[in-house]
Chain A
Amino acid sequence: DQQVKQNSPSLSVQEGRISILNCDYTNSMFDYFLWYKKYPAEGPTFLISISSIKDKNEDGRFTVFLNKSAKHLSLHIVPSQPGDSAVYFCAASAYYQGGSEKLVFGKGTKLTVNP
């Protein structure tokens, strides 16, 4: 069962416009959410995160919004730049056996920003 869903496999936007990447989750026990960015043939890099006690977190051009009642979060990139073209993974933190936490990843959304 897929607990973290990114239903759009790809998104294409014009440079300078807003990019909105969406993520839905099913497990109400998730209490921390992260976005990772991944270029081809490289490992993911951490982008931004949000705790379940907040509904918004901003870092420069990147803002993550969390709607707990809808179990939905979104990543906004404003303005979008060609260098933002990458695959974006949404991840949620869950407790695992033994009390440790693990990340549950979505399938990713490939963002293409056209010049």
Chain B
Amino acid sequence: DGGITQSPKYLFRKEGQNVTLSCEQNLNHDAMYWYRQDPGQGLRLIYYSQIVNDFQKGDIAEGYSVSREKKESFPLTVTSAQKNPTAFYLCASSIGTAPSTDTQYFGPGTRLTVL
């Protein structure tokens, strides 16, 4: 049963703490993405990775870090430098990075609340 899993679904953290969000896919996709959604807003790209051991900053990368040591995993760390981390975080993957041919498939998301 192929798909993308994100854990946990809900996450609470104290201000000033780093937190890592998990994203795993078994679709054998090369490309993976992290987006952030805020209420009444569209999805904004945080980081993306076209291939293992490579990743690039998206539009709002400040305060976040990622790694891509395995094809199937793309964890996102929300650091204490992120000024407003409370949001819904979505991970996605696709075969390649051309939206015209490579549909992005999304995970169920993680809602992070920083207290």
Contacts and interface: CB of A to CB of B under 8 A. Distances in A.
Whether A and B are associated in the same complex: the answer reads yes
Interface of A: 4, 9, 31-32, 34, 36, 41-46, 49, 51, 89, 91, 93, 96-98, 100-108
A9 B4 CA distance: 28
B56 A100 contact: yes
Interface of B: 4, 6, 9, 40-45, 48, 50, 56, 58, 90-92, 97-100, 103-109, 111
Contacts of A101: 97-100
Contacts of B91: 43
B100 A44 contact: no
A93 B103 CA distance: 11
B41 A107 contact: yes
A108 B42 contact: yes
A95 to B, nearest CB: 10
A103 B56 contact: no
Given A101-B97, A102-B48, A103-B99, A42 B108 contact: yes
Contacts of B97: 100-102
21 contacts: A9-B40, A31-B100, A32-B100, A36-B106, A42-B108, A43-B6, A43-B90, A43-B106, A44-B90, A44-B106, A91-B43, A91-B99, A98-B56, A100-B50, A102-B48, A102-B58, A102-B97, A103-B104, A105-B42, A107-B40, A107-B42
A107 B41 CA distance: 4
